[in-house]
Amino acid sequence: MEFTAKQIADMIGGRVEGDEQAQINTFAKIEEGRKGAISFLSNPKYTPYIYETQSSVVLINEDVELTQPVSCTLIRVKNAYESVAKLLQLYASMMPKKTGIDPLAFVSKSAQIGENVYIAPFAFIGENVKIGDGSRIFPHVTIYDGCQIGKNVTIHAGSVIGADGFGFAPTASGYDKIPQIGIVVIEDDVEIGANTCVDRSTMGQTVIHKGVKLDNLVQIAHNCEVGANTVMSAQVGLAGSTKVGEWCMFGGQVGLAGHLTVGDHVNLGGQSGVTGNVKSNQTLIGSPVMEPGVFFKAAAIMKRLPDMYKEISALRKELEELKKTK
Amino acid sequence: MEFTAKQIADMIGGRVEGDEQAQINTFAKIEEGRKGAISFLSNPKYTPYIYETQSSVVLINEDVELTQPVSCTLIRVKNAYESVAKLLQLYASMMPKKTGIDPLAFVSKSAQIGENVYIAPFAFIGENVKIGDGSRIFPHVTIYDGCQIGKNVTIHAGSVIGADGFGFAPTASGYDKIPQIGIVVIEDDVEIGANTCVDRSTMGQTVIHKGVKLDNLVQIAHNCEVGANTVMSAQVGLAGSTKVGEWCMFGGQVGLAGHLTVGDHVNLGGQSGVTGNVKSNQTLIGSPVMEPGVFFKAAAIMKRLPDMYKEISALRKELEELKKTK
Amino acid sequence: MEFTAKQIADMIGGRVEGDEQAQINTFAKIEEGRKGAISFLSNPKYTPYIYETQSSVVLINEDVELTQPVSCTLIRVKNAYESVAKLLQLYASMMPKKTGIDPLAFVSKSAQIGENVYIAPFAFIGENVKIGDGSRIFPHVTIYDGCQIGKNVTIHAGSVIGADGFGFAPTASGYDKIPQIGIVVIEDDVEIGANTCVDRSTMGQTVIHKGVKLDNLVQIAHNCEVGANTVMSAQVGLAGSTKVGEWCMFGGQVGLAGHLTVGDHVNLGGQSGVTGNVKSNQTLIGSPVMEPGVFFKAAAIMKRLPDMYKEISALRKELEELKKTK
């Protein structure tokens, strides 16, 4: 597919500066630009590249003032990042979409598969699983018996939905398994990354609500509930029975203890460790978590702890001297 | 299957309060109760639900006093949690168990598979692998050549047993691989979660002893040894050659450095980082680890570090003033 | 294969002490030695085992002085660890190597596969993927469409190359997916462990340069770049667009925030958390990272924080007393 700068500008409501007939047929990062490519400039850190880029066209915010002439054609837009996202979506919507059940997939006879579903080679769909319309299941995904997947759900390669929750009862000689007879429910519009695990419930359901996005290598334990539109970065782990609200954002490698309740719109910085309930509308970081202002100050002072320790000893000594000589 | 409250009470040594003929055919969480379901009340936090639950029967501890009438039938037992675990085990034991090697599994000709083993579609069993009686290997599990799996072992989807340990020798131009010619031995009654990795040894064996339970996404490096009945939560990582004793419990995301020795009955809190040997019978938390009492006090004071820092400076200044005026 | 002590000594330039005709046919750890095995002694901690080992031959450094007679034959070498690595490499090079595409692998018709490549059962190779000569792709590896794998690359079981980067744009009602139309490029001589994820770029390439070694369960996000000969231990996570230099070494469970630049020869201790750029030739540890000397001192003093807090309060009180009595 080939488009002119003018055609692109019309699609996204932008204004061309330069050659309206400039031809583009691909995307490129501005620092890796090449003839025929469209790039974008959003982060000011990358501004110097606009004077050297080989890309034919660059999307740029209306209000950016350039101090030198450029050889590329510009398309001025309100928000270059949003515009490129929109163009990528248009581009992706024009690509042919794979649908259908690949003959190399394993789909149980009792599974109910919706319309326009893609199930890749080596995907495993257990008994009585339901998968809604338009969902895409990539290679090596395992969906255990009885789990329910909504519409327009994407599950990337290697993720495991509905393995047994980690429940054992200690005895004198070892552990007895507590059977996990519940299921996992994944609602509509959820995207799950690669090699992520969502365990089935002991009884009832582990629920991933509508619009949730889970990155790679995430662990969601049995009986958890993740609220609508919550986003979790890679390697996050939730222990059993923890409930997370809507519109939360968790950075990478965050860990939450079990049986907690986290409110809506909670942001947790990377590597945070949460051991108690969290109210809505908070941003926290650290292990255990605290407010970011406090965390970064405390973290900076951590390095001075040895000096502080020495100074306290010195103060004590000098104070005792002073007391004596009084 | 349908049972009466009386039949259930007889199975677990309980006493019915209410309708002995109440029919149940499924389990439900007390807060998601429905007609025909049995629920349990163990955690006092959930007590309010017993007055509203739609479940037909609820297991409850003998000594719980209810302050209002309930519409469900109660079965009074010594320990409601243990009783429900027992019922779940009875229930699971009545379910048909899958056995046999699925035609879509890959099992090397030289592998030795015991009796009543289940090997799922897309499981990969390498050359000269041994799998003991009654073990269950779920989809997308990879067992590399030569590894030995005991009896009644469960390995959930996507786990990898016996990939090469991470061993490389630096040279001037890059790294030379140190071949990993050892194996992994997994003893009887071990359960391994989904997408967990246990690496083969450089030489000799990486050993997971009898009754160990590993959750999802756990990393056990080459030459490690995990003692009998030790339990590790999700995303725990052991570096190479570390030996962990028996009956330990590690919380999620714990990390242990290499070449360490950890004793028996050691409990580590979530996200702990262990860089030295640990003696038996200790509970530790933090990175680096310390005693929980100290950790939680220190963590609480962390937030006051900036104030402490200022106060020390103020004390210094005032002390110097005082010295002058003396 | 069977060799004499003399033959082994000749291969690695060592000197035999004892029976030159001692036969060996396998390797064993010194503490698990047995007749017919060769072991090595490198770590002084293991010295006592040399007096009891059942191994027929032991590699030992030239300069180690033994205080008692030994029953095994010794081969004296300059560096026992390097010598055993060399022997293991010789041994591995004599083993037959699997090559070819297993009939149970899925390889797209448009994929270009080099010579002497091994592709295991249940590996998935997407459209237009290129795999260079001599590379080995283990079971359950997924390589998404368009990704490029160099020569002599090893990818262990369950790893996922080229799943979508984690990019979403918030809207009033949820998140819109930002299509990820870039690829992953893995250069020559890279080894990737089991269940590791390398995400495709939004546009352009996520690049793993020549000679990089990634352990198991590692997360490399979209648009990242990992420099030549950098080594990352298990469960490390890089957020999006972060660039890491050459010859770095990251311990287990390290996390890096997005859009960072890390120089060459940077060492990060286990569980480090990096939130800013890092210059070359540094060793750091902690979350946030600091110099190891400072970190270990500060960590040791952490435990005394409660006492420090009390002491500061006491100093304040006593100072106020002193002021009054002046």
Q: Chain centroid to CA A284: how far?
A: 18
Q: How confident is the model at residue C216 (pLDDT cuts 50, 70, 90)?
A: very high
Tell me what percent of the residues of chain A surpass a pLDDT of 70.
100
Query: Which comes out higher in pLDDT, residue A1 or C239?
Result: C239
Contact between C23 and C55 under an 8 Å Cβ cutoff? The reply is no
Per-residue confidence (pLDDT) for residue A325, from 0 to 100: 80
Q: Report the residue from C140, C305, C319 with minimal CB separation from A140.
A: C140
pLDDT in tens, C143-177: 999 999 999 999 999 999 999 999 999 989 999 99
Residue B43 has what pLDDT?
87
3-state secondary structure of C84: helix
Query: Does the pLDDT of residue A96 top 90, yes or no?
Result: no
- Is residue C68 within 8 Å of residue C49, measured between CB atoms? no
B29 CB neighbours in chain A (<8 A) are 203-204
pLDDT, position B292: 95
Distance, in Å, from the CA atom of B281 to the CA atom of B284, rounded to the nearest integer, reads: 10
- Tell me the backbone φ, ψ of residue A254, rounded to 5 degrees: -70, 145
Q: How many CB atoms lie within 10 A of CB A43?
A: 12
User: In the predicted model, what is the mean pLDDT of residues C68-87?
Assistant: 93
Find all residues with CB under 8 Å of A89, minimum gap 6, and list them. Answer: C176, C177, C178, C179
Task: Report the pLDDT value the prediction gives residue A56, as an integer from 0 to 100.
Answer: 97
Q: What is the per-residue pLDDT across A68-81, written as a single tens digit (0 to 9) for each?
A: 999 999 999 999 98
Q: What is the pLDDT of residues B42-89, one digit of tens each?
A: 988 889 999 999 999 999 999 999 999 999 999 999 999 889 999 999
Cα A191 to chain centroid, rounded? 9
Instruction: Give C-chain residues touching B169 at CB under 8 angstroms.
Output: 82, 85
Give which of A87, A132, A90, A139 is closest to A113, Cα–Cα: A132
Interface of C with A in 124-183 (CB under 8 A): 124, 140, 142, 144, 158, 160, 163-164, 166, 168-169, 174-179, 181
ipTM at complex level: 0.94
Q: Which of A163-167, B40-44, C86-90 has the highest mean pLDDT?
A: A163-167
- pLDDT band (50, 70, 90) for residue A137: very high
Contact predicate A241/B45, CB 8 Å:
no
- Span B119-150, pLDDT tens digits: 999 999 999 999 999 999 999 999 999 999 99
Rounded to whole angstroms, the Cα distance separating B323 from A315 reads 12
In terms of C-beta density within 10 A (0-12 exposed, 13-18 middle, 19 or more buried), how is residue B103 classed?
exposed
What pTM does this model have?
0.95
Of A140, A222, A259, A265, catalytic: A222
What is residue A324's predicted lDDT score, i.e. its pLDDT?
Answer: 86
Q: Residues B204, C28: contact at Cβ < 8 Å?
A: yes
**Cα distance between residue B320 and residue C275, in whole Å:** 39
Catalytic choice (C156, C222, C259, C265): C222
* pLDDT average, residue stretch A201-208: 96
Among all residues of chain B, which has the CA nearest to that of C322? B322
Q: Which amino acid is at C242?
A: T
pLDDT value of residue B303: 87
Inform me whether the pLDDT recorded for A1 exceeds 80. no
**What confidence tens digit (pLDDT) does each residue in B137-195 have?**
999 999 999 999 999 999 999 999 999 999 999 999 999 999 999 999 999 999 999 99
The predicted structure's pLDDT at residue A103: 97
* C72 DSSP 8-state letter: S
- Examine the pLDDT at B326 and tell me if it is beyond 80: no
Instruction: Give the bridge partners for C169, in sequence order.
Output: C176
Write the residue in C158, C305, C318 that is nearest to A195 by C-beta.
Answer: C158
Mean of all residue pLDDT scores within chain C? 95
| A326 has a pLDDT exceeding 90 | no
SS3 for chain B is CCEEHHHHHHHHCCEEECCCCCEECEECCHHHCCCCEEEEECCHHHHHHHHCCCCCEEEEECCCCCCCCCCCEEEEECCHHHHHHHHHHHHHHHCCCCCEECCCCEECCCCEECCCCEECCCCEECCCCEECCCCEECCCCEECCCCEECCCCEECCCCEECCCCCCEEECCCCEEECCCCCEEEECCCCEECCCCEECCCCCCEEEECCCCEECCCCEECCCCEECCCCEECCCCEECCCCEECCCCEECCCCEECCCCEECCCCEECCCCEECCCECCCCEEECCCCECHHHHHHHHHHHCCHHHHHHHHHHHHHHHHHHHHHC
For A311-320, B109-118, C138-147, C231-240, which range has the lowest pLDDT when averaged over its residues?
A: A311-320
Q: Is pLDDT above 90 for C63?
A: yes
Residue A211 in contact with partner chain C when CB distance is under 8 A: yes
Is A194 a residue whose pLDDT tops 70?
Answer: yes
The number of residues in chain B equals: 326
